[in-house]
Chains A and B, each alone.
Chain A
Amino acid sequence: MIEIRNVYKSFGSTEVLKDVSLTVPPSRTTVVIGPSGSGKSTLLRCCNCLEIADRGEIRINHRTIIADGKPLPDKELNALRAETGMVFQSFNLFPHMTTVENVMRAPVVVRRMAKAEARELAMELLRKVGLGDKADVYPSTLSGGQKQRAAIARALAMKPKVMLFDEPTSALDPELVGEVLQVMKTLAEEGMTMMVVTHEMGFAREVADTVVVMADGRIVESGPPEQIFTNPTQERTRGFLRALVDGHLAGARPQPPADDPLEALPGNH
């Protein structure tokens, strides 16, 4: 469970988050969408104190991770971070370790798990994300989709109760997006609590319980995906979705623009 209460965050004189509140209930998936620079990444990063929120409170599984600019003391913060998996747009795999070492390292270092046990756990997770045969290669030899699946396995190795995804498929070639979304979908179905920044509308439709639209550091609208995509109440949501669809069509497959842009939103992956 993630509870974000009246969070503010500035970088220097730029206010990036302005009074953001949002709750992701247990075992639910919230998808955050919004234009570039609207503060999505910053919000996500505040949830495990990679950025320090200036004001407001954030609670993870009923534990306050930060309140009024004061994060938990280091030790407790580390423990809470260990239970909050984070997946980055740029994967951030450790290039000096093999795939399986990437996954088993944190359990060994943070949880003091025995190496053999950690390796077994890592292998199990790698098989789960379809990378059982890539355990002993270095990340540089993996495709983008494989890298991101390995990164997800690495986060899962800490047995997180909450997962944060920051545009996990934005750096991927289009044909590799599906395999990563599939893994995330499985996680959601298994009851993981997830907060996902993504512009994959098909995923949002299919997996999200709630879609949150951000613009300019604020939440402008939120609701179930059907409502946000088919019947948005805010003009900013409409404008964003239109721009997104135009971008999709321009980038992915050239075809004449649909009459109603919202109709043309890509469906399943």
Chain B
Amino acid sequence: MTLDFAPVWGGLPELLKGTVVTIEVTAAAFLLSAVLGLLVGIIRLNPARRVLYGIASAYVAFIRGTPLLVQLFLLFFGLPQFGILLPAWLCGVIGLGIYSGSYVSEVVRGAIQSIDRGQMEAARSLGMSYREAMWEVVLPQAFRRMLPPLGNETIALIKNSALVSLLTIDDVMREGQRIISTSFRALEVYIAVALIYFILTNAATWILRQLEKRMTVERG
């Protein structure tokens, strides 16, 4: 058996276009998951706020307990039954963001809970409100501890984004499949696609590690 990478080279412009789409979808989903994860993570710190806590917990339980693919299909094929017809890319971003956000929320909650209680107490005793104390004192310290697990979540997010190809989004996965459907060189094309994902996940890890390093230096 010989490998023939000619279809990969020939399809390179499409693969790169798909890569850009993958990056865009992932980046948008990352932002959504960060905002969602922060909110839900903070809400889930305090069971006393019953309603909010209940909603946030149900969200985390449901999202973590069901397949991402089903969630994406619910958005893409399910919502139109209610007359809600979102464009495919938006379904992809929302689906991935909501999914990843549930994991990020646990990262956020864990990191905040790992900060000594005395930090919040000291901030409150100086007259800061809960929000100010959280923002000024607890979150900056928690953020540093979030970075390593957040790196894992980002890797998962990039890899999971391959599923949005099933929502007709022209990401790198779908562009690859398109090349295969005309060239029938599945092995070579999937190797190329895998390599692209590998580069993306490692680039993301590298960026987060630089951030982590910089924050360590800053603390002196």
Chain A contact residues, CB within 8 Å of chain B: 48, 50, 74, 78-79, 81-86, 88, 90, 92-96, 98, 105-106, 109-110, 137-138, 140-141, 151, 154-155, 158
Q: State A90–B124 Cα separation when bound (angstroms).
A: 16
Q: B49 contacts which chain A residues (CB < 8 A)?
A: none
Task: State in angstroms the CA–CA spacing of A251 and B141 once bound together.
Answer: 36
Cβ A106 vs Cβ B127 within 8 A: yes
Q: Which of B119, B128, B129 contacts A92 (CB 8 A)?
A: B119
Other 14 A-B pairs with CB < 8 A, given A84-B125, A94-B119: A50-B121, A78-B128, A88-B121, A93-B122, A94-B122, A95-B219, A96-B140, A96-B219, A106-B123, A110-B126, A110-B127, A137-B220, A140-B219, A158-B127
The residue of chain A having its C-beta at the shortest distance from the C-beta of B215 within the complex is A96
**B119 closest partner in A (C-beta):** A92
Residues on B with C-beta less than 8 A from A93 are 122
The interface of chain B, by Cβ under 8 A from chain A, is 116, 118-119, 121-130, 132, 136-137, 140-141, 144, 219-220
- Residue of A with least CB distance to B132: A109
- The prevalent SS among residues of B at the interface is helix
Measured between beta carbons, the chain B residues less than 8 angstroms from A92 are 116, 118-119, 121-122
Closest 8 CB pairs of A and B: A82-B127, A92-B122, A106-B126, A86-B125, A92-B118, A110-B127, A138-B220, A81-B127
The smallest beta-carbon distance between B133 and chain A, in angstroms, is 9
Give the nearest-CB partner of A93 in chain B: B122
Contacts of A85 in B (CB 8 A): 125
* Most B C-beta atoms less than 10 A away, residue of A48, A79, A106, A110: A106
